[in-house]
């Protein structure tokens, strides 16, 4: 056949091969390089928008993030909340269960806390209310994580889509209760709950904790260490890793995969519940449908960027919250819009996720052969 | 023979990562109008080589010529344009599409015409070569054989005159195999070049005109089938006749350890994979399991290990060496079996996909089957680390460290890690599936030695293998499976290769199939 | 009154229909683009910027040219959404990044971009209220068909929308036919079901993924444009678009990846979104207060979850998500 003797295509200039042998330090060098590159791009954008010296701008950012004790505490609080949720989604991700429902699980936890504070704040003694707040918020979060897990375990229902939808169901449930419990009928706002009795408030005396964030930071710090040990050294953590790697291997090792999926999602949801409790009972003392504030989604990126390692998550969440706070300061000082920080966050994440390619693959050029022809 | 050369490969080399060289400087020709058998053991690089011809992989170096002119095959489409079509072992079909839609994939409407025209063309191809498929049937409703037929029809429709079939008979019944061979002969008569990748000698002799042999990624040579014998091909395949010097220690005190009665299992497609098999395994002997691949070996081992459900009426009993108590294993999970005190070790065929966790290091892999031990919420880190170091040293595992993910180790070292772990648990029953597949001679001997050591300790060893020489040299008894049935048990000391080969291919009490 | 309800439900449904159709096209290529909410924001704000520039270039706003008033925002919207689609495709297809993470980053980025430029524009005009009004261009977008006012309920239900609403329906039908009837549609579905097979069949997986994602993004972006230019009559306010992007993704699941079902589905979802405003009128006997509204707004998501569950239990092959949805493809993977 004549058609079959023709030359097909040209020798391609390069082709891509997977690599498995990149040393640890090189892969981190690539990631750090990506962060630096993204900061440069951000600087360029900021210069274009403000026309100012980038060093001065980054100075403003640093000042905005850590310029005063209050700001440092606010930064720590931001990091703690984001980190807490990132910790929560991590066991699920390690198991290759895409729990993108953290936003909803946090809200349900917060709602549980709110409910206890409102319903029992006037009738039960304050310490008991606090215990109820903690228990109920954890249960609420856990249930919200459990529902998609059951369907995943038994019917293999797509968990990404399921957990995503559960977020909005939670938001609407919270909206419903903010109307029901709103302080002035119809204005849809719950004023600070139990402002006189502080029943159900999770707090340290103001003499120790001036800004009211310390307890949250301590709790999340402890959770980080716990999660690190849970994932790395516990039997359940081991099971999670095995199930995530290969279900076949898990069965071979005698692991009940369904049980692990369900148990892990209960833990994941429960931790989100804790985050909701910390937000409601620890700092806000009220709830709105926006209490989680998108952290449920940002946390997914935090966890993923840290390669599911709780200790690295401290760094990645710090990076993101630092940039957000800094960008907020820039927008105030230079009269830009608050959403500027979202753009900065987006750009940094794009760079880091893009950099993973250069860690997992290498590009082989064929320059030599082309020359030879 | 027609000596017009359809495809020439020259100096083809392909490596995966920095460790595995799949093909090394391979040069070979494929003639027009011939059936060429590409023969080689598992892992000899047959499939990789053909994948480069079909555009799935790209060679690292070397040239391909089709009908005399050099070509660069950068994608499957390039291959199709050159008239090269490949039927992969894992079918490339979209399950939710009909047969016709699958054929239409990637094709211009101008070339195929409407679906109606296409259906007509498919029916014509079917009539011409004697295929039997329904163009309107959805793929997910098809049997494996129908899917394979569809793949061939698809390739033919696209005008392929060079067809590559990768282990086409692995999934077929003997009847289906005969049908396939008849079709291949028809296509050859039509002037097409056919390459069939296989490691089954009887098929090579039955269907091919010429045999090309690969060994460990290198091209060994070719021979006309009419001039070839099982012996000569085996020699080319495994290299110069290696005197297998495997020891076979005698163990006097053999004790019944495991009985399998009337075991019938279905595979994942619901087809009977194991049909009413009964056998016994004794401590202090190696029981070999022979059979062409996919004859039910996997189901047999997994049923014993508690990973495969059995049909009603089956019984697998374990005889406790200390108490003499019989324990029924059917219907029990892996964990339950362990709790009964059954010391069962299992080296599965799929090392990284089942036996080990590729992303974990040696140390973490050591505790895969024992991590539940003890009451603590935390895993014991010390014992596995020590075991890992011990295995590394005793079996000479080459690894940068016991925390290096085992995925990065070479195949032989991966297997040492797996076997080392399974033996370390002091089993009374040790099952090993294709334990030396893809390993070099030295490592293979290490493995044989380990199995023999276990045998001497009084362990009942069940060894599933594919190399008959090894089975005959190593095993005390060999149970031969054929088409899911137990076709006979022979004594490893007295049986001949021909005897076992006969049992593997011809079901007793039935007419010869090929 | 029922006509008025249907009218509002359709208006609510159109952005969802654009979003869902765009996401279906994208998902059929195996890309789960969770960045659609961000893409729709960018589509909206790009259109607003275009309209803003055009209006400001006019000395006399009454002299606005209908063609330019429509084309400039539309082209801006398409370019903006295309850019987002390209970012997503580049990261997930070329660099094989995780789709969920990339998608969520796109949403953060896109919503941020929308609110940033929206906020900046609001500052430029120095408005008293935190919104920007582009009524001149909006007029052209929301112009309904002639006779709509003269034909009573028929006109209200069928003829009373801006051209983008009809475009949404046309695109949904065309997409549906495209997927079902054409060879390119067949190839696209194959890419999402089984990229290795598509590749072996000579289909360029990379090309299809890029094209589907970019075209899908542009379709979705028009949902944002419709929302600002027609639904809210050219008034951009930050976060005004709300959770409609996620609702569009829900609609994709609800309609089991079928754009023609999405036409009805979008009106149903749109209706559920606003039905609380009408319940008191329809059923005066049953008091519906503000809180109940929020529960009714939950309905689309609950229904979607039910559809997802039922389909996974029934295991009917045709109703499952594309098999390779969310997975990266690398030919040499073994």
Chains with at least 3 CB pairs less than 8 angstroms from chain A: B, C
CB atoms B74 and A20 under 8 Å: no
Q: Check residues A49 and A20 and name the one with the higher pLDDT.
A: A49
Question: What are the backbone angles phi and psi of residue B285, rounded to the nearest 5°?
Answer: -140, 160
Give the pLDDT confidence score for residue A9 in this predicted structure: 47
Q: In the predicted model, is pLDDT for residue C203 greater than 70?
A: yes
Contact flag C108-A342 (C-beta cutoff 8 Å) = yes
pLDDT at A14 over 80: no
In chain C, residues with a C-beta closer than 8 Å to the C-beta of B153 are: none
Q: Given phi > 0 = left and psi -120 to 50 = alpha, else beta, which region is B96?
A: alpha
Nearest to A234 among B74, B305, B378 (CB): B378
Residue of B nearest to A234 (CA): B378
CB contact under 8 A, A346 and C330: no
Q: How many CB atoms lie under 10 A from the CB of residue B1?
A: 10
For residue A237, give the nearest of B407, B386, B381, B356 by alpha carbon. Answer: B381
Alpha-carbon gap: B230 to the closest alpha carbon of chain A (Å): 37
Torsion of CA A235, A236, A241, A245, to 10 degrees: 110
Under the banding of pLDDT at 50, 70 and 90, the label for residue B1 is very low
Is pLDDT at A322 greater than 60 in this prediction? yes
Q: Mean pLDDT over residues B112-119, rounded? A: 87
* Strand ranges (E), chain A: 14-18, 361-365
Q: Give me the sign of the Cα torsion angle A235, A240, A245, A251.
A: positive
pLDDT at C288: 65
Tokens 């490592």 found at: B443
Three-class secondary structure of residue B363 per DSSP: helix
Task: State mean pLDDT over A114-129.
Answer: 91
Average confidence (pLDDT) over B373-396: 87
Which of C197, C325, C333 to probe by mutation at the B interface, max B CB count within 10 Å? C197
CB B348 within 8 A of CB A252: yes
Residues ≥6 apart with Cβ < 8 Å to A59? none
Q: With 70 as the cut, is the pLDDT of residue B510 above it?
A: no
Cβ–Cβ pairs < 8 A, chains A and C: 169
For B141, the closest chain C residue by CA position comes to: C317
* Chain A residues near residue B18 by CB distance under 8 angstroms: 21
Cβ–Cβ of C190/B94 closer than 8 Å? yes
Which two structure tokens, joined as six digits, stand for A92? 């699920």
What residues form DSSP beta bridges with B485? B482
Choose which CATH entry (3.40.50.1370, 1.10.3470.10, 3.30.470.20, 1.10.10.10) describes domain A73-203+211-333: 1.10.3470.10
Q: Mean per-residue pLDDT for C131-154?
A: 78
Distance CA C4, CA A210 (A): 56
Among candidate residues B404, B400, B433, B405, the one with its CA nearest the CA of residue B419: B433
Percent of chain B at pLDDT > 70 equals 93
Nearest chain C CA: its distance from B156 CA (Å) = 13
Per-residue confidence band for A367, with pLDDT thresholds at 50, 70 and 90: very low
What pairs with residue B70 in β-bridges?
A: B65
From the list A156, A168, A300, the residue facing C312 with the nearest CB is: A156
Nearest to A4 among B17, B67, B371 (CB): B67
CA A214 to chain centre: 20
The pLDDT score that the predictor gives to residue B238 is 64
Taking the C-alpha atoms of residue C188 and residue C175, their distance in angstroms, rounded to an integer, is 12
Chain A positions in Cβ-Cβ contact with residue B69 (cut-off 8 Å): 5-7
> B316 has which bridge partners?
B260
- C91, C112, C305: residue with CB nearest A342: C112
Interior angle at CA B476, CA B471 and CA B477, nearest 5: 80
Task: Judge contact between A96 and C327, C-beta under 8 A.
Answer: no
Residue-wise over B295-326: b if at least 16 C-beta within 10 A, else e? bbbbbbbbbbbbbbebeeebebbbbebeeeee
CA distance to partner chain C, nearest, from residue A323 (Å): 14
- What are the two backbone dihedrals, phi and then psi, of residue C246, each rounded to the nearest 5 degrees? -70, -35
How would you classify the pairing of strands A361-365 and A14-18? Answer: antiparallel
Q: What is the mean pLDDT of chain B?
A: 85
Given a cut of 80, whether residue B455 has pLDDT beyond it is yes
pLDDT, tens digit, 9 for 90 and up, residues B157-205: 888 889 999 888 776 766 778 888 988 998 899 888 999 988 777 788 8
Of B67, B71, B355, the CB nearest to A8: B71
Model confidence at A129: pLDDT above 80: yes
For range B241-256, the mean pLDDT: 76
Contact flag A242-B372 (C-beta cutoff 8 Å): no
pLDDT band at A356 (very low <50, low <70, confident <90, very high): confident
Classified as helix, coil or strand, B86 is: strand
Q: Quick count: other Cβ atoms within 10 Å of Cβ B13?
A: 15
Average pLDDT of span A125-145: 94
Specify the pLDDT at position A371: 36
pLDDT given at position B502:
75
Q: What is the mean pLDDT of residues A145-173?
A: 93
Residue A306 has pLDDT above 80, yes or no: yes
Residue B44, phi then psi, degrees to nearest 5: -90, 0
Q: Which are the contacts of B509, defined by CB distance < 8 A and separation ≥ 6?
A: none
Of A162, A337, A343, the CB nearest to C109: A343
A247: chain B residues, CB-CB within 8 Å:
none
Neighbours of chain B (3+ CB pairs under 8 A): A, C
Rounded to the nearest angstrom, the minimum Cα separation between B205 and chain A is 31
Asked if B307 is an interface residue toward chain A (Cβ–Cβ < 8 A), one would say: yes
C313 CA: distance to closest CA in chain A (Å): 6
At A372 the pLDDT is: 35
- Tokens standing for residue C96: 């094989």
Cβ atoms of B74 and B37 closer than 8 Å: no
Tell the residue number behind the tokens 């009408």, with chain if given: C278
Sheet (strand B315-319) strand order: B272-283, B255-266, B315-319, B326-328
Question: What is the model's pLDDT at position C286?
Answer: 67
* Domains of chain C as residue ranges with CATH: 2-319 (1.10.3470)
**Cα-atom radius of gyration of chain A, to the nearest Å?**
24
**Residue B456: pLDDT over 80:** yes
**Separation in Å, CA A173 to CA A177, A181, C197, C291:** 6, 12, 44, 9
Q: How far is it, in rounded angstroms, from Cα C326 to Cα C23?
A: 13
Model pLDDT for residues B472-487, shown as the tens digit of each residue: 889 999 999 988 889 8
pLDDT over 60 (residue C196): yes
Listed range (B17-21, B83-87, B174-178) with the worst mean pLDDT? B17-21
Q: Which residue has the higher pLDDT, A15 or A55?
A: A55
- Put simply, the answer to whether A349 touches C96 (Cβ < 8 Å) is no
Partners of residue A239 in chain B, C-beta under 8 Å: 371
Distance CA A345, CA B208 (A): 63
CB contacts of A361 in chain B (<8 Å) are: none
Element holding C132 (H helix, E strand): strand C131-133
Task: Report whether B480 contacts B486 (CB < 8 A).
Answer: yes
Kindly report, residue by residue over C61-115, the tens digit of the pLDDT. 777 788 888 899 999 999 999 999 999 999 999 998 889 889 999 999 999 999 8
Choose the weakest-confidence range: A58-72, A187-201, B39-53, C144-158: C144-158
Q: How much is the pLDDT for B318? A: 92
* pLDDT (0 to 100) of residue A11: 56
Q: Which of A146-160, A327-341, B426-440 has the lowest mean pLDDT?
A: A327-341
Q: Tell me, yes or no, if A27 comes closer than 8 A to chain B by beta carbon.
A: no
Tens digit of pLDDT for each residue in A176-186? 999 888 877 66
Nearest CA to B139 out of B185, B101, B196, B89 is that of: B101
Check CB contact under 8 Å for A165 and C253.
Answer: yes
Q: What is the model's pTM?
A: 0.86
* Interface predicted TM-score (ipTM): 0.85
Q: Report how far residue B162's alpha carbon sits from residue B211's, in angstroms, rounded to the nearest whole number.
A: 16
What secondary structure, in 3-state letters, does B151-181 show? HHHHHHHCCCCEEEEECCCCCCCHHHHHHHH
Helix axes A340-360, C99-125, angle to 10 degrees: 150
pLDDT at C334: 44
Q: Which of B20, B94, B104, B166 to probe the C interface (max C CBs under 10 A)? A: B94
Cα C156 to Cα C5: distance, rounded to the nearest angstrom: 10
Classify residue B226 by its DSSP letter. G
Chain A hits for B371, Cβ within 8 Å: 235, 238-239, 253
Cα–Cα dist A113/A279, whole Å: 9
Residue C265, H or E segment: helix C259-282
Half-sphere exposure of C57 (CA within 13 A, CB side): 12
For residue C223, what pLDDT is reported? 95
- Domains located in chain B, CATH noted: 5-238 (3.40.50.300), 255-343+428-438+460-514 (3.40.50.300)
Give the tokens for residue A205: 């005396």
- Select the highest-mean-pLDDT range: A201-205, B423-427, C215-219, C319-323: C215-219
Residues B58, A15: C-beta atoms closer than 8 Å: yes
Nearest C-alpha of chain A: how many angstroms from C307? 10
User: Does A93 or C133 have the greater pLDDT score?
Assistant: A93
Which residue, A132, A68, A59, A105, is CA-closest to A326? Answer: A59
Nearest CA in chain B to A12: B74
| Residue among B177, B434, B197, B200 nearest B298 (CA) | B434
Q: Is the pLDDT of residue A369 over 50?
A: no
Residue A2's pLDDT band, with cuts at 50, 70 and 90, is very low
Domain extents in chain A: 13-60+337-373, 73-203+211-333
């Amino acid at each position: 056949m004549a058609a079959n003797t023709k030359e097909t295509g040209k020798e391609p200039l390069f082709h891509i091969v997977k690599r498995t042998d990149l040393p640890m330090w090189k892969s981190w060098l690539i990631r750090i390089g990506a962060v630096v590159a993204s900061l440069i791009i951000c600087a360029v954008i900021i210069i274009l928008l403000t026309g100012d010296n980038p060093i001065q701008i980054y100075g403003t950012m640093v000042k905005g993030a850590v310029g005063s004790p209050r700001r440092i505490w606010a930064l720590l609080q931001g990091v703690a909340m984001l980190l807490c949720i990132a910790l929560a989604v991590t066991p699920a991700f390690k198991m290759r269960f895409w729990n993108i429902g953290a936003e909803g699980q946090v809200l349900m936890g917060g709602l549980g806390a709110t409910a206890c504070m409102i319903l029992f704040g006037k009738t039960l003694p304050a310490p008991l209310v606090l215990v109820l707040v903690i228990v109920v918020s954890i249960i609420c979060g856990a249930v919200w994580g459990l529902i998609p897990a059951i369907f995943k375990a038994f019917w293999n229902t797509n968990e990404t889509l399921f957990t995503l939808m559960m977020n909005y169901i939670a938001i609407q449930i919270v909206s419903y209760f903010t109307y029901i419990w709103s302080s002035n009928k119809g204005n849809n706002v719950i004023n600070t709950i139990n402002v006189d009795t502080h029943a159900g408030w999770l707090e340290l005396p103001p003499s120790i904790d001036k800004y009211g964030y310390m307890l949250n930071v301590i709790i999340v710090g402890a959770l980080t260490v716990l999660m690190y040990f849970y994932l790395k050294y516990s039997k359940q953590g081991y099971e999670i890793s095995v199930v995530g790697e290969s279900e076949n291997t898990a069965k071979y090792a005698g692991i009940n995969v369904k049980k692990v999926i369900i148990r892990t999602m209960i833990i994941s949801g429960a931790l989100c519940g804790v985050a909701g409790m910390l937000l409601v009972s620890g700092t806000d003392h009220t709830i709105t449908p926006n209490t989680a504030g998108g952290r449920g989604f940002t946390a997914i990126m935090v966890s993923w960027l840290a390669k599911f390692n709780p200790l690295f998550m401290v760094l990645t969440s710090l990076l993101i919250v630092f940039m957000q706070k800094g960008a907020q300061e820039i927008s105030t000082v230079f009269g830009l819009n608050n959403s500027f920080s979202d753009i900065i966050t987006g750009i940094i994440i794009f760079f880091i996720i893009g950099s993973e390619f250069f860690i997992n693959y290498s590009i082989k050029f064929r320059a030599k052969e082309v020359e030879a022809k | 023979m027609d000596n017009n050369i359809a495809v020439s490969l020259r100096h083809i080399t392909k490596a995966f990562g920095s460790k595995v060289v799949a093909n090394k400087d391979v040069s070979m020709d494929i003639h027009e109008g011939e059936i060429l058998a590409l023969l080689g053991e598992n892992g000899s690089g047959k499939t990789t080589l053909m994948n480069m011809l079909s555009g799935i992989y790209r060679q690292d170096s070397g040239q391909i010529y089709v009908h005399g002119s050099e070509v660069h095959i950068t994608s499957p489409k390039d291959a199709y344009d050159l008239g090269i079509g490949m039927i992969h072992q894992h079918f490339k079909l979209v399950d939710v599409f009909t047969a016709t839609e699958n054929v239409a994939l990637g094709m211009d409407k101008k070339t195929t015409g409407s679906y109606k025209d296409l259906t007509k063309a498919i029916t014509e191809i079917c009539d011409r070569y004697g295929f039997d498929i329904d163009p309107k049937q959805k793929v997910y409703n098809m049997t494996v054989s129908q899917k394979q037929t569809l793949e061939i029809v698809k390739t033919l429709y696209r005008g392929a005159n060079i067809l590559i079939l990768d282990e086409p008979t692995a999934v077929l019944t003997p009847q289906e195999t005969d049908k396939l061979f008849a079709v291949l002969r028809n296509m050859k008569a039509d002037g097409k070049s056919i390459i069939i990748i296989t490691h089954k000698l009887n098929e090579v002799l039955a269907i091919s005109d010429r045999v090309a042999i690969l060994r460990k990624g290198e091209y060994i040579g070719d021979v006309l089938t009419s001039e070839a014998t099982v012996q000569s091909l085996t020699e080319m395949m495994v290299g110069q006749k290696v005197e297998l010097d495997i020891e076979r220690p005698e163990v006097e005190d053999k004790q019944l350890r495991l009985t399998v009665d009337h075991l019938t299992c279905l595979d994942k497609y619901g087809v009977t994979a194991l049909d009413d098999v009964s056998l016994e395994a004794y401590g202090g002997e190696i029981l070999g399991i022979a059979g062409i691949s996919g004859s039910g070996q996997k189901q047999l081992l997994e049923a014993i290990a508690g990973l495969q459900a059995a049909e009603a009426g089956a019984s697998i009993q374990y005889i406790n060496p200390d108490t003499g108590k019989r324990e029924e294993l059917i219907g029990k999970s892996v964990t339950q079996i362990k709790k009964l005190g059954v010391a069962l070790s299992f080296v599965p065929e799929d090392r990284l996909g089942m036996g080990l966790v590729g992303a974990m290091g040696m140390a973490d892999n050591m505790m895969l089957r024992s991590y539940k031990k003890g009451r603590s919420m935390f895993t014991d880190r010390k014992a596995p680390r020590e075991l890992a170091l011990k295995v590394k040293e005793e079996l000479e595992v080459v690894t940068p460290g016991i925390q290096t993910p085992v995925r990065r180790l070479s195949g032989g070292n991966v297997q040492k890690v797996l076997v080392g772990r399974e033996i370390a648990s002091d089993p009374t029953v040790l099952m090993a599936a294709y334990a030396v597949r893809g390993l070099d001679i030295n490592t293979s001997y290490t493995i044989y030695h380990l199995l023999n050591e276990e045998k001497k300790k009084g362990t009942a060893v069940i060894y599933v293998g594919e190399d008959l020489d090894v089975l005959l040299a190593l095993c005390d008894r060999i149970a031969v499976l054929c088409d899911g049935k137990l076709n006979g048990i022979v004594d490893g000391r007295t049986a001949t290769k021909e005897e076992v080969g006969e049992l593997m291919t011809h079901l007793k009490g039935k007419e010869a199939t090929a | 009154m029922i006509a008025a309800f249907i009218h509002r439900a359709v208006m609510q449904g159109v952005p969802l229909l654009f979003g869902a159709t765009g996401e279906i096209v994208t998902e059929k290529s195996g890309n789960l683009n969770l960045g659609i909410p961000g893409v729709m924001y960018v589509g909206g704000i790009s259109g607003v910027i275009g309209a803003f520039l055009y209006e400001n270039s006019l000395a006399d706003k009454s002299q606005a040219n209908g063609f330019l008033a429509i084309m400039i925002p539309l082209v801006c919207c398409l370019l903006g959404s295309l850019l987002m689609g390209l970012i997503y495709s580049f990261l997930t297809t070329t660099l094989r990044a995780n789709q969920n993470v990339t998608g969520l980053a796109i949403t953060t980025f896109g919503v941020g971009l929308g609110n940033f430029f929206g906020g900046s524009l609001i500052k430029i005009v120095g408005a008293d209220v935190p919104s920007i009004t582009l009524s001149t261009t909006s007029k052209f977008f929301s112009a309904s068909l002639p006779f709509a006012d003269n034909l009573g309920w028929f006109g209200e239900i069928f003829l009373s929308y801006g051209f983008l609403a009809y475009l949404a329906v046309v695109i949904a039908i065309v997409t549906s036919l495209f997927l079902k009837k054409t060879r390119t549609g067949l190839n696209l579905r194959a890419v999402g079901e089984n990229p290795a097979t598509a590749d072996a069949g000579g289909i360029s997986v990379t090309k299809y993924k890029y094209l589907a994602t970019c075209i899908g993004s542009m379709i979705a972006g028009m949902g944002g444009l419709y929302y600002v230019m027609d639904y809210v009559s050219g008034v951009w306010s930050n976060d005004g678009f709300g959770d409609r992007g996620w609702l569009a993704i829900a609609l994709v699941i609800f309609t089991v990846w079928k754009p023609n079902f999405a036409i009805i589905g979008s009106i149903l979802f749109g209706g559920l979104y606003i039905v609380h405003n009408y319940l008191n009128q329809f059923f005066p006997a049953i008091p519906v207060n503000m809180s109940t509204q929020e529960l009714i707004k939950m309905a689309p998501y609950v229904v979607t979850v039910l559809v997802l569950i039922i389909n996974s239990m029934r295991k009917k092959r045709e109703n499952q998500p594309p098999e390779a949805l969310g997975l990266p493809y690398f030919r040499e993977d073994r």
